Homo-oligomer: A and B are copies of this chain.
Amino acid sequence: MLLRIDTTSEESLFEQVATAVRTAIAQGEARAGDRLPSARELADSLGVNVHTVLHAYQGLREEGLIDLRRGRGAVVTEVGDAIAQLNRDIVELGKRAKALGMSPATVVALVKASL
Contacts and interface: CB of A to CB of B under 8 A. Distances in A.
Interface stretch (A30-38, A68-76, A79-87): A79-87
Interface string A64-106: 1100000000000011001101110111011011101111111
Contacts of A98: 115
Nearest to A79: B101
A8 B38 CA distance: 45
A14 to B, nearest CB: 13
Contact of A26 (B78, B83, B104, B110): B110
B64 A101 contact: yes
Nearest to A115: B104
Contacts of A18: 109
17 contacts: A22-B109, A23-B109, A23-B113, A26-B113, A63-B101, A63-B103, A63-B106, A63-B109, A64-B102, A83-B100, A83-B102, A86-B96, A86-B110, A87-B110, A93-B93, A104-B115, A107-B111
